[in-house]
């Protein structure tokens, strides 16, 4: 069982020195991976994280052991060949510690704000994914699609390995498109009710070869509640036990979403890792 942690997204404004301190703390206390969200803009109120690819590259150069990945990268935000190129570069910088989580995106506000097409997102994802996974597998790719084109594109310098792909979607059509070529699948805690029973039911629907990755919301004792939701958070006291229960329900990996998320929380939870 691997246990990772998500770094801050839009809970509050976080500057690079704090991201660096949290990443180093996560590595020091024993987390296996660190994850950052790929979003451009939320509203109500306006807020956003830093650009995820730049941030991941800096984290890759500043850590030694943890896996790094986006939770998850939106295939619609960049040309697919460029996504593959960026993924291969971060994997090189990290020494083979990168996992490319991919999804089709969902937040209409950021698509509109940045002038990115929102329609037919799954169809757009299908073409983009064909280019991305082909390039990361070392292929030369040509595609004349409705939404994306590639003309004998190849990744050079060649990647040292095939970057693992993680699918961030519960949609049957998305799984039909991507599952065969991915090594893992991730689901958000709200999508399965943040319970082992809910996760067991959800994960049973998907391809058996995929490793199962479950996000898990944890509320630390006596600390501010940063995630306002109707789905109950796991208490700090049940942190390790809940991870074990998710493992029994089929999870190969748990990604902790801590409330609040700061260095103090990371160190407190690190002491309780199973």
In 3D space, the residue among 203, 272, 264, 207 whose CA is nearest the CA of residue 235 turns out to be 272
Looking at the fold, whether 169 and 42 belong to one and the same domain comes out as: yes
Mean pLDDT of 34-44: 96
Q: What is the pLDDT of residues 143-193, one digit of tens each?
A: 999 999 999 999 999 999 999 999 999 999 999 999 999 999 999 999 999
Looking at the fold, whether 245 and 273 belong to one and the same domain comes out as: yes
Looking at the fold, whether 50 and 175 belong to one and the same domain comes out as: yes
Predicted TM-score (pTM) of the model is: 0.96
Residues 6+ apart with CB under 8 A from 113: 40, 41
Looking at the fold, whether 120 and 220 belong to one and the same domain comes out as: no
Looking at the fold, whether 174 and 234 belong to one and the same domain comes out as: no
Looking at the fold, whether 75 and 192 belong to one and the same domain comes out as: no
Q: How many domains does the chain have?
A: 2
Looking at the fold, whether 71 and 159 belong to one and the same domain comes out as: yes
Looking at the fold, whether 158 and 198 belong to one and the same domain comes out as: no
Range of the domain at 86: 32-182
In 3D space, the residue among 271, 35, 47, 60 whose CA is nearest the CA of residue 166 turns out to be 35
Q: What is the pLDDT of residues 103-159, one digit of tens each?
A: 999 999 999 999 999 999 999 999 999 999 999 999 999 999 999 999 999 999 999
Q: Which CATH number covers residue 147? A: 3.20.20.30
């Amino acid at each position: 069982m691997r246990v990772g942690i998500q770094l801050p997204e839009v809970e509050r404004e976080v500057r690079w020195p704090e991201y660096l301190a949290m990443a180093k703390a996560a590595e020091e206390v024993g987390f296996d991976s660190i994850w950052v969200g790929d979003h451009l803009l939320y509203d109500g109120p306006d807020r956003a994280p830093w650009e995820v690819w730049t941030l991941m590259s800096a984290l890759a150069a500043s850590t030694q052991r943890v896996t790094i990945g986006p939770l998850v990268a939106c295939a619609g935000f960049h040309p697919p060949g460029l996504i593959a190129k960026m993924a291969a570069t971060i994997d090189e910088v990290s020494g083979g510690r990168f996992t490319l989580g991919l999804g089709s995106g969902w937040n209409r506000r950021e698509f509109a704000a940045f002038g990115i097409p929102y329609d037919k997102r799954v169809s757009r994802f299908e073409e983009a994914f064909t280019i991305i996974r082909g390039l990361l597998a070392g292929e030369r790719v040509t595609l004349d699609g409705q939404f994306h084109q590639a003309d004998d594109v190849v990744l050079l310098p060649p990647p040292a390995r095939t970057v693992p792909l993680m699918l961030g979607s519960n949609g049957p059509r998305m799984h039909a498109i991507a599952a065969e070529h991915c090594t893992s699948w991730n689901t958000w805690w709200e999508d399965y009710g943040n319970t082992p029973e809910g996760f067991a039911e959800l994960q049973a629907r998907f391809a058996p070869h995929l490793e199962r990755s479950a996000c898990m919301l944890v509320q630390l004792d006596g600390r501010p509640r940063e995630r306002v939701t109707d789905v109950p958070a796991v208490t700090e006291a049940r942190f390790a036990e809940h991870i074990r229960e998710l493992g029994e329900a089929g999870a190969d990996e748990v990604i902790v979403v801590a409330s609040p998320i700061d260095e103090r929380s990371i160190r407190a939870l690190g002491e309780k890792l199973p």
